[in-house]
Structure 1
Amino acid sequence: MMTVPIIIDFEASGFGKGSYPIEVGFSGRHGEGWCTLIRPEDDWDHWDTDAAKVHHIPREILIERGRSASYVADQLNYFLSGYTVYTDGWAQDYVWMARLFDAADKVPRFKLADLREIISDEQQALWHATKDRVQEELHVARHRASSDARVLQLTWLRTFESKLSASNGSRAQ
């Protein structure tokens, strides 16, 4: 039986040293989504205007509407405890997740893994075209954590189903 992977995505203040998570969202096994803005900690002051042009989240909105690192870490642990959760940007997302959990003085109770671990060569060959179709069908106009996670999850699911159909078709011959 196939298990649909849980996909998580982070938006951040920028890239590299000093960057921090500003939004996190995931798409669960049944397609249910969860997302929240993250209020910057007092010492989180790096802000990259180029990154802001991509995510379109003003820092003032994070301060006003973002949730504390402690709240976000608790919620992630509540929803994801015991699961392996996949990301397409493991190297960066791992750093941002660690920064979030460090600020909250908590430990993640889930494993963050690279999405590439569960994408076969057959899926990879279909990935970009399928992802483009999924984004178009969902009318994804914003680069935000929960919608990005859902697009990745549906792309994985459709490419996996295509792989199954192809292998079942070759067995029928």
Structure 2
Amino acid sequence: MTVPIIIDFEASGFGQGSYPIEVGFSGRHGEGWCSLIRPEDDWLHWNLDAARVHGIPREILVERGNTVQFVAEQLNFFLGGRTVYTDGWGQDYVWMAKLFDAAEITPKFKLVDLFEIINDDQLPNWDATKEQIIKELCVARHRASSDARVLQLTWLRTYDEARKLSA
């Protein structure tokens, strides 16, 4: 079994006009990486409901966020040649594309829907396991790298439980 690399994006909102504001991943050995993303000059959309969920003020992104070029280069450095999974493929793919398009860089990794590697035996315990892991890790904020780690641990634990039941 290969532990899946999980990536997550936080965004300025949901839907048209939104853009990535943070990206994080959890690697095969649990190592994490995360970066705030400085908005491009024409990235103006800002949804207050989304901001309440992730707790990142736009001012912090402008002051402390990394450029789209830096973030795209770092993602390619760490993830190049690998398959990376997300639980929000439809949205995360759009935000990833927006990031890489703005950086004028091509992604060197493949983004795939996490549900392609979740088998039917994992599903019955998925939500309860995820909630248990959130409690164990004391995750208080909805942020990219912690969300990625929670998903990775949920996949691992439900995979192990499903294997034990089928043995």
Q: Indicate the residue corresponding to 2:22 in structure 1.
A: 23
Residues 14-71 of structure 1 show CA distances to partners (whole Å, capped at 9, x for unaligned) of: 0111000000000000000000000000000000001001000000000000000000
Distance between the aligned counterparts of 2:123 and 2:83, measured in 1? Answer: 21
Distance between the aligned counterparts of 1:167 and 1:91, measured in 2? Answer: 32
Aligned-residue identity in percent: 73
Q: Indicate the residue corresponding to 1:86 in structure 2.
A: 85
Tell me the TM-score normalised to structure 2 length: 0.99
2:75 matches 1:97: no
- Runs of 4+ aligned structure 1 residues displaced above 6 Å come to none
Give structure 1 stretches of 5+ with no counterpart.
Answer: 169-173
Q: Indicate the residue corresponding to 1:49 in structure 2.
A: 48
Deviation at 1:77, TM superposition (A): 0.1
Choose 1 or 2 for highest CA Rg. 1
Give structure 2 stretches of 5+ with no counterpart.
Answer: none
Q: What amino acid is the match of 1:62?
A: L
Q: What amino acid is the match of 1:75?
A: Q
Distance between the aligned counterparts of 2:89 and 2:102, measured in 1? Answer: 19
Q: Indicate the residue corresponding to 2:75 in structure 1.
A: 76
Deviation at 1:167, TM superposition (A): 1.2
SS at 1:122's partner residue? coil
CA-based RMSD of the aligned residues comes to: 0.4
Distance between the aligned counterparts of 1:107 and 1:7, measured in 2? Answer: 19
Q: Indicate the residue corresponding to 1:162 in structure 2.
A: 161
Matches within 5 A, 1:48-67: 48-67=47-66
Q: What amino acid is the match of 2:128?
A: A
Q: Indicate the residue corresponding to 1:171 in structure 2.
A: none
2:98 matches 1:135: no
Distance between the aligned counterparts of 2:80 and 2:164, measured in 1? Answer: 33
SS at 1:3's partner residue? coil
Q: Indicate the residue corresponding to 2:147 in structure 1.
A: 148
